[in-house]
Amino acid sequence: MFTGIITDIGTLSERVDSGDTRLVIKTAYDTSTIEFGASIACSGVCLTVVAKGDDWFSVDVSAETLSCTTLGGWQAGTVVNLERALKVGEELGGHLVTGHVDGVGDIISVEQEGDSRKFTFTLPDSLKQFVAAKGSVTINGASLTVNEVIDEKDGRTLFCVNIIPHTQEKTTFGLLKAGDQVNVEIDILARYVSRMREV
């Protein structure tokens, strides 16, 4: 489990496609404290550490994960939001995040609003019942509050979040632009509430 509070911005230094895909990610983490088999959320995707060095760790990614997240398009130089797994007793600063991406959204627009930036995203049809104004959503691993949900006449559902300067600096949001794709994870509580209403 994670909290959606990004603690490092890593950089993909190498990608090896052979069977599963191995990604090597440079990091500022003290890798001596990372155990083999540890989970690290990489732009919202929970991945297992299989090797490491002084300033890097590597993970193996299955074809399934590549196909249903943005990781399929990652190449050397891609910047990555990183968060280590939550330890019992630590502060829960965001919300409970599993690292299991539910879908990929597109950035429709990025607008300056004061010092913040307003991002508008598409929402896959299968997820629109789980996202509500003032609720939580995870975008590329970052815990964010939904400002607005918009049901378009063409059937699309959009949602908006505001990214304050601190978050722009401490995550990859300062680099994102319209047309980019993002990993979306819905709030686990919304998932269970929706299921309870079905039975």
* Most confident listed range (76-85, 123-132, 155-164): 76-85
Pair 61, 23: CB distance under 8 Å? yes
Residue 195 has pLDDT above 70, yes or no: no
**Is 169 within the bounds of a domain?**
yes
Structural element, H or E, at residue 171: none
How many distinct structural domains can be found in the chain?
Answer: 2
**Is 98 within the bounds of a domain?**
no
| Same-domain pairing of 61 and 119 | no
**Is 1 within the bounds of a domain?**
no
| Same-domain pairing of 109 and 184 | yes
**Is 38 within the bounds of a domain?**
yes
| Same-domain pairing of 60 and 142 | no
> Which pLDDT does position 125 carry in this prediction?
87
| Same-domain pairing of 47 and 14 | yes
Give the global pTM: 0.92
| Same-domain pairing of 107 and 184 | yes
Cα separation, 174 vs 168, in Å, equals: 4
Residue 189 confidence class, pLDDT cut points 50, 70, 90: confident
Residue 187 has pLDDT above 90, yes or no: no
The identity of residue 104, as a single letter, is V
Tell me the per-residue pLDDT of 75-105, one tens digit each, with 9 for 90 and over: 999 999 999 998 877 777 778 899 999 999 9
Cα separation, 57 vs 82, in Å, equals: 12
| Alpha-helical runs (H) found in the chain | 63-68, 165-170, 188-198
Q: Which domain holds residue 44?
A: 8-84
CATH number of the domain enclosing 134: 2.40.30.20
> Which pLDDT does position 129 carry in this prediction?
87
| Same-domain pairing of 186 and 119 | yes
